[in-house]
Amino acid sequence: MPGRVGAATMAVHALACAVFAVFFPLAAARGAGLSNISHVMFSVFTILFAVGLGFVARGLWQGMGWPRTATVVWLVLLLPVGWAMVQAGSGVFGSLILGTAGIGIAAVVLEGRRVL
């Protein structure tokens, strides 16, 4: 069961990356400060993250062992991002990032203990 929670967490993060990948070209179309090429390249980079996170979520869902490390690394890297967002006044998004990261890390650690 914890592996499924971790998989769902990673699937949500993959979906969020895909949504952000759509946001960047729209921001470029509105005349944002960066060049159109910067927005498109950042969008491509974010899509690659979404695909990678999707593979990790699928691996966790299927009970494979390899995605656990990738999951913990991704979610640990998101902890300072969430904390910075909370401190910058984006408390809702920062709390969502911190909450999903904490839940995902706990789920993967519990799944690892169950497997051993």
pTM over 0.85, yes/no: no
86-98: buried (b, 16+ CB within 10 Å) or exposed (e) per residue? beeeeeeebeebb
The span from the CA of 116 to the CA of 113, in Å, is: 5
Structural domain count of the chain: 1
Q: What average pLDDT values come out for the chain (116 residues) when binned by 10 residues?
A: 86 93 78 72 92 95 90 94 92 92 92 64
Q: Which domain holds residue 28?
A: 2-115
pLDDT of residue 61: 92
Cα angle for residues 114, 109, 97 (degrees, 5° grid): 145
Query: HSE-up of 110 (CA within 13 Å, CB side)?
Result: 13
